[in-house]
Amino acid sequence: MKIVFLTGCYVFLISLVFLPGKGLAAQDMVKIGLSYPETGPYAKQGLDQRRAADLAVEEINATGGILGKQVQLVYRDTRSNAKVARANATELFDREGVPMIFGGSSSAVAIATGEVALQKNRLFFGTLTYSTETTGEYGHRHIFRECYDAYAAGKVLSQYMKKNFSGQKYFYITANYTWGWTTESVLRGFTNTKDLTVHPEVLTELGAKDFKEALKKARDSKASVLVLSLFGRDMEIAVRQAYEMGLKNRMQIIVPSLNDDMAQGAGPEAMEGVIGTLPWIWTVPGTYNYPRGVEFVQKFESRYHRYPTTSGASAYVIMHQYKEAVERAKTFETKAVIKALEGHKYVGLKDEQQWRAWDHQSVQTVFAVKCRPADEVRKSRYEQDYFTIINVMKGEEAAVDKREWIEIREMVGMRPELDEFSDGK
C-alpha cells in the first residue's frame, strides 16, 4: 500500500509494509527509518538497500512483526549529503518517532546520522560506511556498523598486493572526504607507500563527472599501480576513462572497495583484471554453503530479476538483527537494545559475525577479488558474475584491534572507550 502526501511543492511517497488485509492502529505499528541515497552519486547502492530492506520487512511482518508490532519503513533521501542526512535524522526521530534509522552510502552521512542518534537517544546502523572513523574516531554507543571498514579492506587486499606488487610505484586518486582519506591512508600503511613524493595522489570531489586530468597525472607519473579510492558513480566514470585512455595496459588498477552495481556501471571490458575487496558477494553463500544467504539470494532474484549486492545484503541483515535484539531485550528502549547487541554473535548471510562490544563494529570475514575476463562476465546471468575471490581473511585478523583503536581515538582527543550511558539513557 502506498500513500502520497502533497505538501507545497513537495511530494512525499511513503510505503507501508505490513500483512495484507489488516488495518493497523498506531499502537500495533513501529516505524523504522531508512535514510538512503535515492539520488546522487551513490543512488545505485541506495536502491539495493531499499529493495533488500523491503524484503526483510515483509518477512518480519509475515512472522508477527517485532514484539507483535508490524513494521513500517519510512524512507528519506540523503543525496549522499551529510547536511541533508542530519536533517532527515532529526525529522525521523522527532516527527516520525522512529527508534532506529539505518542506511547511508557515505561515511560522512553515517557519521552525521549517528551524531543525531546520540543526541536523540536513538539508534543508527550504518549499512554502507567504510571509513574507519565511523566506529573509530567518531564511534559512540548509539552507532553500529554492519559492513566492513577501510581497515579490513586494506588488510585483506595488502596480502595480495605485497606478494605481487612489492616495491612498485603507486599513484592514488582519492575521493576528498572521510572515506576516501581513510581508505588511502590504510592502504598506504599496509603497502609501505606512505611517501607522497614517491607515491603521489590527486584528490577529487565526490560526484565529479570527469577524471581525465587526474588520470593523465597518474599516467605521467610512470606508476605501475593505480589506486582509485572512489566509490559509486565516481568509480564507474574513472575506471571507464582509465580504460579508454589505455591505462590498463601499463598500470594495475586497484579499487579498494567494490560493488556489483559499480562493476556493471563501468562495464566488463573496463573492469577486467581490476582488483578490490568486498565484505559479501552474491556467489559466497552458494560457494561456501551458507543456507540463509542462499535463500536471500534466491528471494531477491525472484523479486527483482538480478542478484543482490553487498549494500542490499547489509540492509537486509540489519533489519533482522534489530528485530532479534529488540526481542532479546523485550523492549524498543534504546539502552536495552544496545546492551542486547553488544558482544552478540550472529549468522547473517555468510559465516558467523559479531557485534564487537567495545567499538560496535560487526567483525566478519572479508574477501579480496579480481574481476573476471569480459567474455566470461558477458555470458553470466544478468551479466553480474564479475568477481573471482583471490584472498579470504577471517574477521578477527582483518579488523582493527583494540590497542590500535584506542591509539587512534587518543590522537584526536577521544576517550579510550565508548562513552557510558548518561542519566536516562
Of 141-145, 240-244, 405-409, the one with minimum mean pLDDT is 405-409
Q: For residues 416 and 408, give the distance between their C-alpha atoms in angstroms, rounded to a whole number.
A: 9
Render 127-165 in DSSP notation, one character per residue.
SS---GGGTTTT--TTEEE-S--HHHHHHHHHHHHHHHH
Question: Cell match 610505484: residue?
Answer: 169
Q: Tell me the pTM.
A: 0.91
Asked whether the predicted pLDDT for residue 33 surpasses 50, the reply is yes
Q: Is 283 exposed, middle or buried (0-12, 13-18, 19+ CB in 10 A)?
A: buried
Grid coordinates of 182: 581513510
Asked whether the predicted pLDDT for residue 18 surpasses 80, the reply is no
Domains of the chain: 2-149+290-364 (3.40.50.2300), 151-283+366-398 (3.40.50.2300)
| 308-350: pLDDT as tens digits | 999 999 999 999 999 999 999 999 999 999 999 999 999 999 9
| 115-139: pLDDT as tens digits | 999 999 999 999 999 999 999 998 9
Grid coordinates of 37: 541515497
Confidence of residue 26 (pLDDT cuts 50, 70, 90): low
Q: Give pLDDT, residue 13.
A: 41
Q: Chain-wide mean pLDDT for the chain?
A: 92
The share of the chain scoring above pLDDT 90, in percent, equals 88
Q: What's the whole-number mean pLDDT along residues 259-263?
A: 94
What b-and-e string marks burial along 91-126, b requiring 16 or more CB atoms within 10 Å of the CB? bbbeeeebbbbbbbbbbbbbbbbbbbbbebbbbbbb
